[in-house]
Structure 1
Amino acid sequence: MPWLIAFLFKGDAYLSYMIAWIGSFVILFLTLTGWVRAMPKDRPLGEQLMRPMFIMHIIFAGYTCCTSIFYFFSVLGYDEFNAPISTFLVDQEKLELTAQCQRLYCLGHAAFITGVLMFMKYPTKHKYYIEKSNLASLLMKIAIISFPLSNILIRLPGLSQFSIQLSALSFIAGTLALAFAIPLKKPVNTLICSGLYVINFYIALTSGFKEPIIISVLVLGIFLYPNYKKLVLVTFVPILFGLFIVLPAYVNNYRSTAWTGDVAADDAAQQSLDAALNDENTTTWAFLVLRLSEIDMFTTFVKTTPSSVDYYGTELLKQSAIAIVPRIFWPEKPITEELVMARVYKAGVVNRGSNVSAKPAYIVDGYLSAGTFGVFLSMFLYGVIAQLISNKAEALFGGYILGTALIFSGLFQIFWRGLSFEFIINSVFWSYISMLGVFHILRKRNILKKT
C-alpha cells in the first residue's frame, strides 16, 4: 500500500518521495509489532533478534530505505542542515529520479518482508538436539577450530571463500560463547572468548571497511541483550552512534596510509584513529548525503536503464551461475568483479579509468534485470530464501542458538547487506554446502542427537 500510494502521487516528486520514505517506517512498525503476522512465541523477542524478521529486516530497511533522506534534502538544496538559499533551483529530473528510486526501495522492502512472513514458521520441528550443558563449550570449540582453519584455507587456491565463511563463523561462535560465559561466570571461557573477540575486532579494525567493525559491536550487543538489557541499551547504542560518526574518517585515513604499503597496519590504525577523533569534519554533510546511502548510484542506474541500456533479463543470473563454479575447476573462469563492474561502467556510474569499486546492490540488480517487476520478484525471493534457510538451520541444529544465532548468522551474513547477484548467489550456495558439512561433522561426533 505505501508503494501504491506513492506511485499514484508520482506527479508530485516531493510528496511521492515522502510517502515512500515514511512507508518503510510504517512497514517496519506493522511487521515488528506483530500486526501483520504474530511474532514467534517460542522465545522472548530479545532472544530471537538474529532471525531474518529482525536483524536482516532492520539492517536492510535502515540502510537501504531510511538513510536516503539526507540525499533527498541535498537535492532540495539543503547543506549542513541549513535551508537552501532563495536563488537555489531544484534539479527537477534529479528530484524525480530520487523519488522513483525511493518508491522502488519501498516496494523492495514490502516484497522482502512479505517473503519472510509467508515462510516464518517457528518453532520449527527439530530433527536433532544438543545437550544444553554442552552448548557453551561447543560454541567456544567451534570458534577456536574455525579461526586457524580459515587462515589455512585463505592460502589455498580456489578455497578462499570458505575461509571467509569460517572466519565469520568463528567470530559469531566466539561472540556467542562470550555472551554465554559472562552470566555463567566461567572465568576460563570468558578469558578465552574475550581474547578471540579482541583478535576478531582487530582484524575488523584493520580491514579498511566500516561494516565489519560495526557488526562486531552490534552482534556482541545483541547476544548480551537478553541478560543485560539496560546495560546494553545504555552502552552499546551510544557506541554504535559514535562509530557511525567516527568510522568514515577513520576508514578513509586508514586506506590512504595502510593500503599504500608504506605504513604497517598497527601504525596506520593508530594514526587513523587519532586523525578521526581529532577531525572536526567527521560528521560532514557529504558523508550523510553520499556515503550513508547508495541512492545516488541507484539514480544513475535508473536514469540509464532502460533509456540507453536495455534490461539485462536473465543475463545476471547466468553470470551468477558462472560465479558458483570454483576457480580450482575452471582456472579461466571470468573474474566476478569484472563481470559486475561491466554494468557499472555501461551505466556511467564511474569511469573505466577510475580506481573505484561501485558494485550495485542486490535490489539494484533486481531493477536492472526487469525493472519494477524485477525489484518485486528478486526481493520477494530474497526474503523467502533467507527465511527457508533459517528454518532449515534450526531444524538441523536443534533450535535457535545453534541454528539461527550461530550457523545462519555466521555462514549467511551476506544476507544482512546484500551485494550484487553474482556475489550473493555464489556465497549463499556455498554457505549452504558448508552448513550441511558442519551438520554432518556434528552428527558423526554424536554432538547432535536425533530427537
Structure 2
Amino acid sequence: MEKKIAFERILALYIPWALACLFRSDALLSYFIAWSGSFFIFYITLCGWVKPLPNDRPIGEQLMRPIFLVQIIFAGYTCCTSIFYLFNVLGYDNFSKSNTLVLTDGNMLALTAQCQRYYCLGHAAFVTGILLFMKYPVKHKFKVENDNLANLLFYAAIIALPLSIVFMKVPGLSQFSNQFSSLSFVAGTLALAFAIPQKKMLNTAISLGLYFSNFYSALTSGFKEPIIISVLILGIFLYPTYKKVVLAIFVPVLLALFFLLPTYAKIFRQNAWGDQVSADDASQLALDAALNPGDDVDDTNWGFLVFRLSEIDMFTTFISSTPEKIDYYHYDLLEQSVVAIIPRIFWPEKPSTEDLVMERVYDAGVVYRGANVSAKPAFIVDAYLSFGQFGIWIFLFVYGAAAQLISLKAEKLFGGYLLGTALIFSGLFQIFWRGLSLEFIINSVFWSYISMLIIAWVLRYKNIIRPI
C-alpha cells in the first residue's frame, strides 16, 4: 500500500532555502547554506525519509526513475556545479589564490549567492513535484512476455536508428530524428546489457556495434555530455547484474572523463569546427592532447569547471538585468513555446526557435548581437525571467511533476519499468535530464509524448504488448 506523504516532511525540503534567505546579509554564508542544501535534499529524498522509495523493485533495478537519475543529473548539474565559479569570484585560480591584494567583488559575490538560493528553491520545488506524484507500484494496463524482452529491445534498437535517419532527411521533421536516435541508443545499450549475461553472441556483437557507433558519434560531436551519458547509461544497465565490476570500472572511468573531456572538447572544436581537419583527425588530435597534457591543460580544465560545468555566470547576468532593466516576460515565453510546438513541415515560415530564445540573451547582455555563439538560458533561468522567484517555484514543481507523471504513464502503457521507464522514458525524454530553454523543452516533451503514444499503439496492434 502506497503511504501518503507527510506535509511537514515536504516542508523540510525548503529549510535550506529558508535559512539561506535568513542569512542573505552574509553572501558567502548564504551561498554555502544554499549549496549544501541541495546535498541535504538529495540525502533526505534518496534515503526515503521524505517519502518511502518505491519497493516494487530493488533500488539497483529502478535507477532510471525520476527520483533517482533525473534528479541526480538535473539537480546535480544545475545546483551543485557552481562551487568552482564561487572560488573564481573569491579570486582563486586552480584552487590557489591568484592575487591576495585584489579584493573580492562584493556585488558579484552577492549575485552568486542569490543565484544559488534560487537553485536551492528550484531543487526543492522540482523534488516536491516528483514526490507528490510518485505512486508505486504502477497498475499495469498491458504486459510483455519476459521471454520476448531481450529480442524486443534488440529489434527496437535496429528499427529506431534508420527511422532517425529518415526523419533527419525530411524537412521540418528533424526534431523526431533526435528522439529516435536517442531511443535507438538506449534500446541498444539495454539490449547489450541483456545479451551479455544471456551469452547471445549475435545479439551481443550487433549491440556492441550499435553502442560503439553511438559512442563514436558522441566523440565526434564536439560536446562532452553525450560521451558521459554513453558511459553512464551502460553502467546503470549493467549494474544489477555486475555490481562489483561496474563500481570498479565505470566509476573511475566517469571521473577520468571529467578531467580529460575539457581538453578533448577544446582541441576537437578548434580543429573540426574550424574546417581545418576532418572529424576523425580532429578526434585523434584531441585524444592525444587529452592523454598527453601540455602546459595549458590546467587553464583549460579550470575554465571548464568555472564557466562551462555550471551556467551560473549567465544566470547572474540575467538577474542583474531583470526586472531592473528588463521587465519579467510573464506569459511571453509560454506563448513562444506553443508556437515552437508546430512542426515546420506545416508552417515553413515559422520563426526560428533559436532566434526567439537568443533575443532574451541579447537583451540581457549575455552576448552581443552578431556573436557566433549559442548561449541559451537554462530552464530555471527562463522560470525566473517569466515570474521571478515565484516562477522558479511553480515552473520547477511542474517540471518534476511532468517527469514523474510521464514515467508512470510509460510504465502503464508498456507493461512495467523496463520498457516503460528504462527504454521509452529514458529514450524519448532525455531532455528532462539537462533542462534547456522553455521553448525547446515544451516542444520536445510534447512531441515525445505523441511518439510514445504512437509506439504503444503500434506494439499493441502487432500484439507485442497485450492487455492484462
User: Same fold by TM-score, threshold 0.5 exceeded?
Assistant: yes
C-alpha separation between the residues in 2 aligned to 1:187 and 1:228?
Answer: 18
Q: Following the alignment from structure 1 to structure 2, what is the Cα–Cα distance between the partners of residues 115 and 423?
A: 20
CA RMSD of the aligned region, Å? Answer: 1.0
Aligned-partner residue type, residue 230 of structure 1: K
CA distance, structure 1, for counterparts of residue 214 and residue 84 of structure 2 = 33
- Are positions 1:257 and 2:271 aligned together? yes
3-state SS of the aligned residue for 1:154? Answer: helix
Aligned pair 1:88/2:88, yes or no?
Answer: no
Give distance in 2, aligned partners of 1:260 and 1:97: 35
Corresponding letter in the other structure for 2:204: T
Q: In the aligned structure 1, how far is the partner of 2:94 from the partner of 2:228?
A: 25
1:221 aligns with 2:235: yes
Q: Pick the aligned partner of 1:427 from 439, 444, 452.
A: 444
Q: 2:142 aligns with which of 121, 128, 137?
A: 128
* Residue number in structure 2 paired with 1:207: 221
Matched residues, number: 451
Establish whether residue 111 from structure 1 lines up as the match of residue 128 from structure 2.
Answer: no
* 1:282 to 2:325 alignment: no
Following the alignment from structure 1 to structure 2, what is the Cα–Cα distance between the partners of residues 115 and 17?
A: 24
Report what 2:206 is aligned to.
192
Structure 2 unaligned blocks of 5 or more: 1-14
Q: Do structure 1's residue 396 and structure 2's residue 413 form an aligned pair?
A: yes
1:38-53 correspondence runs (5 A): 38-53=52-67
User: Any residues of structure 2 matched to 1:59-98 within 5 Å, and which?
Assistant: 59-83=73-97, 85-98=99-112
Equivalent residues in 2 for 1:360-379, closer than 5 Å: 360-379=377-396
In the alignment, which residue of structure 2 is the partner of 1:234? 248
**Which residue type is aligned with residue 233 of structure 2?**
V
What residue in structure 2 maps to residue 137 of structure 1? Answer: 151
CA distance in 1, matches of 2:450, 2:304: 38
- Trace 1:288-307 onto structure 2 (pairs within 5 A): 288-307=305-324
Bigger drift between 79-88 and 66-75 goes to 79-88
- Structure 1 counterpart of 2:169, which letter? R
CA distance in structure 1 between the partners assigned to 2:76 and 2:245 by the alignment: 23
Q: Distance in 1 between matches of 2:456 and 2:205?
A: 28
CA distance in 1: counterparts of 2:267 and 2:176, whole angstroms: 30
Mapped partners of 1:351, 1:277: distance in 2: 35
d(CA) in 1 for partners of 2:47 and 2:297?
A: 35
Q: 1:174 aligns with which of 173, 178, 188?
A: 188
Q: How far off its partner does 1:381 sit?
A: 0.2
How many angstroms apart in 1 are the aligned matches of 2:88 and 2:199? 51
TM-score, normalised via structure 2 length:
0.95
Q: Secondary structure at the match of 2:93?
A: coil
Deviations along 1:273-331, whole A, 9 cap, x unmatched?
A: 11222224434322211111111110000111111011000000000000000111111
Which amino acid in the other structure matches residue 236 of structure 1? Answer: F
Question: Which residue of structure 2 lines up, in the alignment, with residue 440 of structure 1?
Answer: 457
Residues 405-429 of structure 1 show CA distances to partners (whole Å, capped at 9, x for unaligned) of: 0000000000000100000000000
Q: Which residue type is aligned with residue 38 of structure 1?
A: P
Deviations 1:167-193 (A, max 9, x none): 000000000000011111111111110
Shift of 1:261: 3.0
- Distance between the aligned counterparts of 2:75 and 2:382, measured in 1? 17
Instruction: Indicate the SS of the match to 1:90.
Output: coil
TM-score between both structures, scaled by the size of structure 1: 0.99
TM-fit CA distance, 1:84: 5.5
Which residue does 2:50 correspond to in 1?
36
**Structure 1 residue 148 corresponds to structure 2 residue 162:** yes
Letter in 1 for 2:326: V
**C-alpha distance in structure 1 between counterparts of 2:214 and 2:186, whole Å:** 10
Amino acid corresponding to residue 405 of structure 1 in structure 2: A
Cα separation, 1, equivalents of 2:303 and 2:223: 18
Q: Distance in 2 between matches of 1:86 and 1:199?
A: 50
Question: Could you tell which deviates more after superposition, 22-31 or 242-251?
Answer: 242-251
Whole-angstrom distance in 1 between the partners of 2:360 and 2:133: 33
Q: Could you tell me which amino acid in structure 2 is paired with residue 332 of structure 1?
A: E
C-alpha distance in structure 1 between counterparts of 2:371 and 2:293, whole Å: 27
CA contact 1:165–1:411 (8 Å) conserved in 2: yes
State the identity %. Answer: 67
Alignment deviations for residues 200-255 of structure 1 (CA, whole Å, 9 cap, x no partner): 11111111111111100000000000011111111111111111111111112112
SS in 2 for 1:49: coil
Match of 2:9 in 1: none
